[in-house]
A and B are shown apart, each in its own frame.
Chain A
Amino acid sequence: MFREKNSLIQKFIFVLILLLMFAPNVQLLAQQQDANKPKDVFEMSLEELMKVEIVSSATLTKTSPRLVPAAVTTITAEQIRGSGARSLFELLDIYVPNLQWMRNHWEADNMGLRGIINDRDDKYLLLVNGRIMNERTHYGALSERDLVMLGDIHHIDVVRGPGSAMYGPGAISMVINIITYNAETFQGTEVTSRLGAVEEFYAGEVKHGRKFDSNDGGFFVYTGIGKYNGASKYDAPQIFGLDFPSGPSGYGWDPGWGAVAQPPYLPADGTRAGKPMTGPSLNRDGESWRDQPPMKLYAEITKGNWDLWGRYTSGGQQFIPDIGVLAPFPYGWGNVGWLKQPPLLMGGYGYQQATAYVGYKQELADNLNIDYSFSYDMFDFERTMMNVRIQDAFREDTYSGKAILHWQPNDRHKIAFGGELLHQELGMNSPGWPHLDEPADARFNGWPGLTKMPRWSTNMYSLLGEWQWKINDKWTTFIGGRLDDHTFTDLMFSPRAAIIHMPTDKDTFKLMWSRSVRANYEEDMKFQADKGGGNSDPEKLDSLELRYERKHNKNLDLAASMFLHYSLERIAWSYDTYGAAVVGTQKEWGVELEALYHTDRTRLGISHGYTKLIDFKLADPTLQNVAISAKPYGYGDDLANWSNHITKLTAQYKLNDKWTFDGSLRIYWGFPGMKDFDEYRKNPTSQANKNDYPVMEPGWERGYRGNYYLNLGLQYKASKDLTIGINGYNLLGILNKDFNKRNYYASYGDYRSAAPAVGVSLTYKF
């Protein structure tokens, strides 16, 4: 087996060497093609130029936005400022159609798209300037998302839908690409100060950009630091669907592992179902991890075709454990002796990430170039439970090298081809969270011979390519794919094919088919290999999407997507196995409708997403507690952690040169699949009930109803240098806090409401 593996690796290296050997000779090839150069922008009429969009896109080969074979949402810096968003979670929740944000009792918050959401955010890739920032050992896309400082971001492209043919393993549901400012897009110095009340936060940001006198580049630096105290338990109430007993009476049964009621740390204070829990140890909502200030540093130098940048982020948030931890026996473990240390209820995660990137574009001819990049990344992660148990504390280092050749032989054909090498050092000591002398990971606790996290390394070798063929002015096709070979997987293949039809100037039809893949968490793959389980099965999504886009007139853009995930071999964590593995095959379909009306002064956007489970088949019928859908257990036919209908409205209106109004409304219409799963859990004969006691009162409904978030903002441009803003968040909660509820992933119909809050900002440009 290892011989076969090595042989495969050798083939990859051989092909890469061929590629590099080929590079110096492509000049000759290009010269042969000179007579057939593609049309350039100088040959375009003004009308054509006015249609050219200046955004990045989801293809390997260069193309116009109209031809991009994907649904892409671009969020500009102006929209970020106007929204007053306090995190990437909030920002993406406001602007990205059919994206959903959930809380989590055991991990960081989760985001999902088109029904694909998980207890860890391993289903999408988060990129900064094209470099993947995902942590790979345990969680996925973790950094950046919680940070309140967003002033370094020029724009964000969210490629909705699978994309591992383009971006590599992990791009199952979407790709979030953050593009920072640089010397070309920002010159001068700008200082921003923000603070929030009710949900308290403070943030200071400074950015400075300057071009070199030689006019062939420049530098950009950014510093952001904050403090996030969050909202109190009264402004952001935690609601359970259980009547907590008002004391130890009646719960004195000791299972033999120290179950003794421990007021006041326990919530056994008589809190009734649906009433805010006010236990003394309940943390503030959104509070920073260990009260450490969130931090973001960024520096970039561009010179000619070189691009160098470095980035450091540090953040993390607290969360509260689920009802199983809070409730006394027999519902939970709340009266177990080892949980009584104050502050008992607090859990959370923290991270720091340092990245260095070097990119170089080698221009061999007008129609031929090679993009090279090399990067290094250090990711430090910690997660604790109940403030006394360190679940994870480790560091991973990633080295990545990439070369992609772009060749445009003529107007009709564009070709991209390249390779990537990834090396990871895993299981290293956590440098920033000095609580342990050695790395820790719950995955390895308690298993024979694996009482602590080992140190190991993995490699991934990849080949990728795309051919874009413009058949005529009305038809264009894309065919591409990517091969990835990871130390702990068999060869992973992600093909993609798309055809774009433009029957008129206004209408575009896109039909896209793809397979996207993802390797399991590094910790699970290592665990499996060490147990003699061989290579790990990757996650695989086969999908089809039909998209229609219409530029109805100069003010109105319309779009509709219909997607079919006809096979998602789904990796998820299961109580049954206490690990992450392929647990079943998920099938779903959905529709997204979008409309954008824009004039000089107005921008009005509306989107609606509908997602419906078709089927979920368990990989193994003995899996009885897979919290993706209760359908396999005979309860309903919806996804357990998804609102089937999601509507989003955004508005911006420039009242005059001084005043700008912003508003947004997000509606998750309800969680029928979550209710189904809890009904399944409540059934005393269900297998799930053996592991989890029913923790909802009969008739508990509130947790499954809709969520409604209304934000309003006003910006005042006091002078050409000074802008003052005020934003109101989750304002419907003033009427009823349940409007602002945010559900937990795979929990028990409980929720925590976001606080109605206010924020102000002041920006001065020197």
Chain B
Amino acid sequence: MVAIAPKARADSPSSQEYQVKAAFLYNFLQFVDWSEEKSADSNKPITIGIIGKDPFGNAFEPIKDKKVKGRSVIIKRFKSFEELKKSTGKDKPELGREIEALTKCHLLFICSSEQENLKEIINSVRDHNVLTVGETEGFLESGGIINCFVEENKIRFEINISAAERAKLEIRSQLLRLAKRIVEKDASQENKGAESSG
């Protein structure tokens, strides 16, 4: 959806970008299957977490009334990882609780403002059946599962299958078919191996 200028910034290409990205996230929910533990209770909503400086604005408003796999969807916003650490104190129980909240999400969108803390965030949720989605260069290489990017003014995405398998997520073929790039080897694991052996 596009609009003419002069206009308020609500119609800027950037907000259009995040309206479309929000719809992508909504679609991802339909093509990813979570483990029994996270999908057992059909009364519980599906949670999309957003960590960092939220660029979506009110882009998720329309999903209030929508359901995915028969479940409603809620949006949960988190401060930046740095601020979480500052406000709770490293290694303190409050931080543990915040991280636990991250692990409860079904999908965690890691905003570009979190580039510095990418690996730390991903490592915090990597074994907790969380679909991590990012929008930064090197996201897959850092262990993230789906990375969105803009190419030729259109949103594209790429998938790290190894990271999805490690997170015990099943990504359906319909989604894999549309990915611009599929990473089958987990570079982050390789690096980790190299570091520990070296």
- List residues of chain A with CB under 8 Å of any chain B CB: 40-42, 44-47, 49-60, 62-65, 68, 74, 76, 127, 129-131, 154-155, 166, 177, 179, 182, 184-185, 187, 211, 215-217, 302, 305-307, 357, 359-361, 363, 371, 373, 402, 406, 416, 598, 600, 720
A302 with B9, Cβ < 8 A, contacts A182-B14, A184-B15 known: yes
CB–CB B2/A361 < 8 A: no
Most A CB within 10 A of own CB, among B23, B24, B77, B181: B23
- Chain B nearest Cβ from A360, distance in angstroms: 6
Interface string of B1-14 (1 = CB under 8 A from A): 11111111111111
The 8 Å CB contact of A54, one of B4, B27, B154, is B154
A58 partner residues in chain B, CB cutoff 8 A: 4
Docked pose: A307 CA to B14 CA in angstroms: 14
B53 at the interface (CB under 8 A from A): yes
Interface-side segment among B36-44, B55-63, B91-99: B55-63
Docked pose: A58 CA to B57 CA in angstroms: 25
B153 partner residues in chain A, CB cutoff 8 A: 53-55, 65, 74, 76
A307 with B178, Cβ < 8 A, contacts A41-B22, A50-B154 known: no
- Chain B nearest Cβ from A121, distance in angstroms: 20
User: Which of chain B's residues has its CB closest to A372's CB?
Assistant: B8
CB–CB B6/A40 < 8 A: no
B112 at the interface (CB under 8 A from A): yes
Docked pose: A179 CA to B11 CA in angstroms: 12
- Chain B nearest Cβ from A538, distance in angstroms: 23
CB–CB A40/B62 < 8 A: yes
CB–CB B16/A360 < 8 A: no
Number of interface residues of B (CB under 8 A): 49
- Chain B nearest Cβ from A13, distance in angstroms: 21
Jot down 10 A-B pairs with beta carbons below 8 A, ordered by A.
Answer: A46-B175, A49-B155, A50-B178, A54-B14, A54-B20, A54-B155, A63-B2, A184-B15, A185-B12, A185-B13
A363 partner residues in chain B, CB cutoff 8 A: 10
Docked pose: A130 CA to B10 CA in angstroms: 14
Docked pose: A334 CA to B12 CA in angstroms: 54
CB–CB B10/A361 < 8 A: yes
User: Which of chain A's residues has its CB closest to B83's CB?
Assistant: A213
B16 partner residues in chain A, CB cutoff 8 A: 54
B156 at the interface (CB under 8 A from A): yes
Docked pose: A302 CA to B8 CA in angstroms: 9
- Chain B nearest Cβ from A207, distance in angstroms: 15
CB–CB B53/A64 < 8 A: no
- Chain A nearest Cβ from B30, distance in angstroms: 9
A63 partner residues in chain B, CB cutoff 8 A: 1-2
Docked pose: A407 CA to B66 CA in angstroms: 24
Docked pose: A217 CA to B3 CA in angstroms: 19
User: Which of chain B's residues has its CB closest to A58's CB?
Assistant: B4
Docked pose: A171 CA to B150 CA in angstroms: 31
B152 at the interface (CB under 8 A from A): yes
Docked pose: A40 CA to B181 CA in angstroms: 27
- Chain B nearest Cβ from A503, distance in angstroms: 22
Most B CB within 10 A of own CB, among A46, A51, A60, A64: A46
CB–CB A41/B19 < 8 A: yes
User: Which of chain B's residues has its CB closest to A167's CB?
Assistant: B4
Docked pose: A211 CA to B27 CA in angstroms: 27
A360 with B8, Cβ < 8 A, contacts A54-B13, A215-B53 known: yes
B33 at the interface (CB under 8 A from A): no
User: Which of chain A's residues has its CB closest to B174's CB?
Assistant: A46
A56 with B4, Cβ < 8 A, contacts A47-B178, A49-B23, A74-B153 known: yes
User: Which of chain B's residues has its CB closest to A41's CB?
Assistant: B23
A302 partner residues in chain B, CB cutoff 8 A: 9
B113 at the interface (CB under 8 A from A): yes
B135 at the interface (CB under 8 A from A): no
- Chain B nearest Cβ from A401, distance in angstroms: 11
User: Which of chain A's residues has its CB closest to B59's CB?
Assistant: A41
B34 at the interface (CB under 8 A from A): no
Docked pose: A83 CA to B143 CA in angstroms: 34
The 8 Å CB contact of B113, one of A55, A187, A402, A416, is A187
The 8 Å CB contact of B5, one of A56, A598, A720, is A56
CB–CB A130/B152 < 8 A: no
A127 with B5, Cβ < 8 A, contacts A46-B27, A305-B10 known: yes
Docked pose: A185 CA to B14 CA in angstroms: 6
- Chain A nearest Cβ from B54, distance in angstroms: 5
CB–CB B23/A50 < 8 A: no
CB–CB B9/A307 < 8 A: yes
- Chain B nearest Cβ from A474, distance in angstroms: 20
Docked pose: A53 CA to B20 CA in angstroms: 9
The 8 Å CB contact of B53, one of A59, A62, A211, is A211
- Chain A nearest Cβ from B72, distance in angstroms: 13
CB–CB B8/A307 < 8 A: yes
B6 partner residues in chain A, CB cutoff 8 A: 127, 129-131, 357, 359, 371, 373, 402
B186 at the interface (CB under 8 A from A): no
A57 partner residues in chain B, CB cutoff 8 A: 2-4
List the 8 shortest-distance A-B pairs measured between CB atoms, nearest first.
A130-B5, A130-B6, A361-B8, A184-B14, A41-B23, A307-B9, A302-B9, A359-B8
A373 partner residues in chain B, CB cutoff 8 A: 6-8
A177 with B5, Cβ < 8 A, contacts A46-B27, A185-B14, A187-B53 known: yes
Docked pose: A160 CA to B2 CA in angstroms: 18
Interface string of B136-162 (1 = CB under 8 A from A): 011000000000001011111000000
CB–CB A55/B2 < 8 A: yes
Docked pose: A415 CA to B17 CA in angstroms: 23
The 8 Å CB contact of A184, one of B5, B7, B12, B174, is B12
CB–CB B7/A130 < 8 A: yes
Docked pose: A371 CA to B3 CA in angstroms: 11
Docked pose: A49 CA to B10 CA in angstroms: 20
User: Which of chain A's residues has its CB closest to B17's CB?
Assistant: A54
Docked pose: A357 CA to B31 CA in angstroms: 44
A59 partner residues in chain B, CB cutoff 8 A: 4
A64 with B13, Cβ < 8 A, contacts A46-B27, A49-B23, A129-B6 known: no
A42 with B23, Cβ < 8 A, contacts A166-B4, A182-B9, A305-B8 known: yes
CB–CB A49/B17 < 8 A: no
- Chain A nearest Cβ from B195, distance in angstroms: 19
- Chain B nearest Cβ from A656, distance in angstroms: 14
Docked pose: A360 CA to B26 CA in angstroms: 29
User: Which of chain A's residues has its CB closest to B181's CB?
Assistant: A600
A47 partner residues in chain B, CB cutoff 8 A: 178
B2 partner residues in chain A, CB cutoff 8 A: 53-57, 62-65, 68
A44 with B3, Cβ < 8 A, contacts A54-B153, A155-B13, A187-B113 known: no
B22 partner residues in chain A, CB cutoff 8 A: 41-42
A359 with B62, Cβ < 8 A, contacts A46-B27, A184-B14 known: no
Interface string of B41-76 (1 = CB under 8 A from A): 000000000000111010000110010000000000
Docked pose: A216 CA to B156 CA in angstroms: 26
- Chain B nearest Cβ from A387, distance in angstroms: 39
CB–CB A52/B1 < 8 A: yes
B137 partner residues in chain A, CB cutoff 8 A: 720
- Chain A nearest Cβ from B156, distance in angstroms: 7
